[in-house]
Amino acid sequence: MTKSELIAAVASKTDSTKKNAEAAVNAMIEAVTEALVNGDKVSIVGFGTFEVRDRKEKTVINPQTKKKMTAPASKAPAFKAGQVLKNAVNK
């Protein structure tokens, strides 16, 4: 599902216009992004949790040159599905 398909689905389920649904979807994405940037978790009961996880520095091999390199430590967004979502997918 693309973002435009998601917007259409939200508009249909809420009996709203696509313009209002787009504003709602964009606001949700922006709010989640801001929370993650600030180091907060976003928990949506029944759906799941968005959080930022730290990745450690590690040694990797460049597949083209076969030389060892060091990948720097970084942060990555992560999502952990809630039980209700897991059950819905497994039905």
Domain boundaries, the chain: 3-89
Q: Look at residue 53 in the predicted model and tell me its pLDDT.
A: 96
- CATH 3.10.580.10 assigned to domain 3-89? The reply is no
Model's pTM, two decimal places? Answer: 0.81
Q: What are phi and psi of 9, to 5 degrees?
A: -65, -40
Query: Using one digit for the tens of pLDDT, what is the confidence trace for 1-20?
Result: 999 999 999 999 999 999 99
Give 45's pLDDT tier (boundaries 50, 70, 90): very high
Q: Using CA of residue 76, residue 82, residue 86, residue 89, what is the dihedral sign?
A: negative
Indicate the angle between helix axes 18-37 and 3-13, nearest 10 degrees: 120
